[in-house]
Amino acid sequence: MLSGDPQPARGQGEPQPFTHLSVQNAALYRNLLCAFARAKERFIVHLRPEDVAADLRIEADEQLTQALEQLVAWGNLRADVDTSRVTTVEDFRRKRSLYQLTAAGQAAEQAISFYEEAIGRRGQLQSVAMADIADRLRSLQVLAAEDDPDPAKVHLLLLSVAERFSSLADNAQAFMSALRRAIDFSDGDVDGFLAYKERLIDYINRFIADLANSGAQIAVLLGELEAIGHDRLLELAAQREAADAVPEGADAAESVARAEKQALDAWRNRWRGLDDWFTSRDVRHPSQARLLRQAAVTAIKHLIDAVGLLNERRSGRSDRSADFRALARWFAEAPDDEAAHRLWRAAFGLSPARHLSVTAETADAWHNLPPGTAWRDAPPIRISPQLRKTGAYERRGKPNQVRDRSAEREFLRRQAECEAAETAAARRRLHTAGPTLLSDLAMLDPRAFRLFLALLGDALAARMPGDTEVKTVTSDGTLEVRLSLVPDGATATVRTADGTLTGPEHVIEITDLAP
């Protein structure tokens, strides 16, 4: 026996015709069974070992015989004693066998062949198939108008319609799947994709036109056949199929009736599928032909988008994600905060815009307004009606000089420095040498108190239900706060310049992370 192959007992258990696919010598077993399948196509049933060897162009040795016997043990082949060449006693005693495919083996070969064909199918949009379906439906329409149509003609036409429709649907689905894969993996072979995309788009456009024309004709023919009475044609086809049914049980008439009912249900299901494929019920239930047409149009758009993306990549243009990654790298490499701020203003256009400056009169009116003035209470901006009418306005005469805003910028700089100093002082004021009770905190000034409230809010917001301790860091990364609930339920009082704050007692630890 061949090494590494399982050896089930012969004649015991159910057939295992697919076992040969996962054993050590699977290639040899596949070649042997393919030889038997080719012989069956030539209407040859039995094969001797030497016939198999001649077909495969190998030696008819002991290994070949062992492989055939192993296939017999798995149920793929059946071995019969070969007595046709027995002329001597020695020939009678020598075991000679004729091999043929079993029913299980033949079914396994058909399943494997169907699987390989389905996996390797590229798919195509069959405009000819739709023309054939329309032609067969016209012939069925003629037969339906007769008083006594020929059952054989009806059956053959329905079989042809079912075959062409099944091929059309399967190939269309396979084509659209292959097209999506081609678009998704177009990066692999850019030149090949760009070379055939024009022909592919023309091919899909022709199919869309044929689908719209032939599909509409088929939908009309289906409606006319249903009006005439297509169910009578389906009954004739079912009766013709049931005539060849093998009688089961004692009542032959009941078996034939049951077979006829099963065949009629199958034909009605096929007809319903054909009708749903070409006929739209309403807006919410469009036909499969319409959905296929929409998918084909979408595929053309995706093809064009993919071509544009490939052209952009080939021309060396970067996308937005690459730009943001480069900008993030520049921020990380900035030597100090001032450089990062300059980069921020340059990258996002935050420099002063002169074309948005207001008039001198408006600026003077705004100069003495308090900071808390609502926009609806502020003096309006005076804009020329010409700007609204034409979208552009240039005042005649000498243009206004650019207003010197160095004083305002200096004021803002001093204010920012003052706020930064106050915030740094508040951070130092809140910094604790270690875990401290809230009630032990000293008097807090307004700036430190506002910062303390922000820290307390961040910590309480980060604490999950049921937790008694939490640690968090402020959004700017300058302060870290640890907050733990005191289990005895005491009340803490924090004194500030604005008043007192009371609440549950906690242990707090604030660490200044700023350099």
Report domain extents, the chain: 19-117, 139-167+185-302, 426-512
- The topology under which CATH files domain 19-117 is Arc Repressor Mutant, subunit A (1.10.10)
Do 7 and 73 touch, CB atoms closer than 8 A? yes
CA dist., res. 156 & res. 277, Å (int): 21
Calpha distance 515→500 (Å, rounded): 32
Closest C-alpha to 97, from 55, 58, 65: 65
Instruction: Measure the CA dihedral 37/41/47/51, to 10°.
Output: -90
For residue 245, the model assigns a pLDDT of: 62
Q: Return the pLDDT at 333.
A: 93
Predicted confidence at residue 331, as pLDDT, reads: 92
Structure tokens at 49: 């070992």
Q: What does each of the 515 residues of the chain score in pLDDT, given as a tens digit?
A: 455 555 554 445 678 888 888 888 888 899 999 999 888 888 887 888 888 888 888 887 888 888 999 999 999 999 888 766 655 555 555 677 889 999 888 888 888 887 676 555 444 555 677 788 888 888 888 888 888 888 888 889 888 888 888 877 777 776 666 666 655 544 455 566 666 666 677 777 777 777 777 778 888 888 888 888 888 888 888 888 887 665 555 566 777 788 888 888 888 888 888 888 788 776 677 777 777 777 777 777 777 777 777 666 666 555 677 888 889 999 999 999 889 988 988 888 766 554 455 667 777 777 778 877 887 888 877 766 666 666 665 666 666 666 777 888 898 889 888 887 877 777 777 767 778 787 777 777 777 778 778 878 888 877 777 777 888 887 767 778 888 888 776 788 887 777 788 888 888 888 877 66
Q: What is the pLDDT of residue 122?
A: 47
Nearest to 108 by CA among 3, 210, 30: 30
Local structure of residue 48 (DSSP, 8 states): -
Q: Record the pTM.
A: 0.39
**What pLDDT score was predicted for residue 357?**
53
Are the C-beta atoms of 510 and 487 separated by less than 8 Å? no
CB 453 within 8 A of CB 462: no
Residue 329 is predicted with a pLDDT of 92
Pairwise CA distance, residues 21 & 109, whole Å: 11
- Cα 164 to its chain centre, rounded Å, is 30
